[in-house]
Amino acid sequence: MMRHNTGYNAARYQRFDGVILTIKKNHSSYQIMTVFTLQQGWFRVFLNTSRKHRNQGIGSLSALSIITFDAWERGGSLTLGEYECVVNTLISYLTVESYAYAQICIEMVLHLIPEKAADRNVYGLLCRYSKLVGEKNERILTVITGWQLVALAGFCPDIDTVHIYRKGITDTGRPVYYLSEEPEPALPAVMLPLSVQQLWKTILAYDW
């Protein structure tokens, strides 16, 4: 159980439940943690890494760890207080390729979900991802999680009625496709097979 640090102004004290996304060094005695919380979505918190603050929590802080923490507002910024962190130790055994997939998932969260936009479903999805990294195939896990993130962010057309069009090719010769909820007569249409529609629905509803 965490202790309340009475050295701070209690009026500015807040408690959060979250999943750590990134930790980056900002100063010799400070780091910045980006965390997605149940209460306020994702935001950044300052970590004081000076010697006198090193023993303020339980568990090492690392990406994709689940954390409960106190934060204290100082000059408009949040500083980490006491915390309890549950680390998925399997993450340290990931190959470079597998770790890259985990980073892709984190980047998708930061680019698809606005800062401080609380979303219980996104939080739950990240908690599951954190617990399954190292147990499941990271490529499949990240692909499914990525599609679900896209849908939770609002980028999900009606699968039964969506229109798909071919819109040129890339420099490497790969076709570019365009999805629209409205007919686009000027573009060549592409039929979406029923099997693909069903697979799409299965991925969005998949529950590990």
For the chain, 208 residues long, give each residue's pLDDT as a single digit of tens. Answer: 455 444 445 447 899 999 999 999 877 678 999 999 999 999 999 998 765 555 577 888 999 999 999 998 878 889 999 999 998 888 888 999 999 999 999 999 999 999 999 999 999 999 999 999 999 999 999 999 999 999 999 998 899 989 899 888 999 999 998 888 888 888 888 888 899 999 999 999 999 8
Distance CA(155)–CA(162), nearest Å, equals: 12
Tokens of 36: 């997605």
pTM for this predicted structure: 0.85
Distance CA(2)–CA(5), nearest Å, equals: 9
Containing 105, the helix (H) or strand (E) segment is: helix 96-112
